[in-house]
Amino acid sequence: MAEQATAQGELLGLVTPALRREVAVRLRTISALRNRMLLSVGQTTKDVFFLSSGEVHVVLYSPDGRIVTVQTVRAPAMFGELAAIDDQPRSASVIAATEVTLARMAQADFLRCLEDSPAAALWLARRMAVSIRRLTDQVFELSALSVGDRIRCELLRLANAHLAEDTLIRISPAPTHAEIASRVGTHREAVTRELNLLAEEGILRHGRRWIEVVDLGRLAASAISAEH
């Protein structure tokens, strides 16, 4: 499948053919059911993972055991590269949000790809720059925006991730209200209230595990005005 090979295919396409063949032989494919813990914070493993189907949650746990979702990663994508680069323990846990299929690349092979090709190293740098920009936005939102505004910004990110050619954007299955709350630092009831308010304003409709964005322009305008 074209999507299946995107992340590792991009990386391996930037190295020499000999190294590409060598590394490809050692890739290991893994399938996992929803809710399986794929990586745990503090783990000393250094492998890099290429997600070819499904999605995962990158999470941390507060002292009282509350789950804080740092990021939701959707296929095709890569995760686990930080530990491979800095040789430190895992900085977060990764849980399968759906059934997933992924390829595991050993740290040594990942580093050889970067050392073999300046283009591969630049490819990684650009991906990390995108992550840094996203995290910068999240820090700003948590520091400067109200709960309602943070929820609208998160809903806009979800809508943009599900853009299609038609005007109606359907997010299905949508994150639960509790999952959205964990991403923006609030509680489930606040998400429910904001969704109901947006529904009353005619911006979206929602039900059990689905959200339809009827007016993306108005949602974007409210989120952008919140950020400024």
Q: Give the span between the Cα atoms of 104 and 8, in whole angstroms.
A: 10
Range of the domain at 190: 145-227
Q: Are residues 133 and 216 in the same domain?
A: no
* pTM of the model as a whole: 0.80
pLDDT band at 78 (very low <50, low <70, confident <90, very high): very high
Q: Are residues 149 and 108 in the same domain?
A: no
Rounded average pLDDT over 203-223: 90
- Residue ending a domain, among 98, 124, 141, is 141
Range from 13-27, 75-89, 166-180 carrying the lowest mean pLDDT: 166-180
Whether residue 222 has pLDDT greater than 90: no
195 Cβ contact partners less than 8 Å away, ≥ 6 residues apart: 151, 177, 204, 206, 211
Cβ atoms 204, 195 nearer than 8 A: yes
Instruction: Say what the pLDDT of residue 163 is.
Output: 79
Q: Are residues 65 and 157 in the same domain?
A: no
Look up residue 46 and give its two tokens: 């250094």
Closest CA to 94 of 49, 155, 142, 31: 49
**Residues of the chain above pLDDT 90, percent:** 65
Q: Are residues 13 and 121 in the same domain?
A: yes
Question: What is the domain-level CATH number for residue 92?
Answer: 2.60.120.10
Q: Are residues 122 and 14 in the same domain?
A: yes
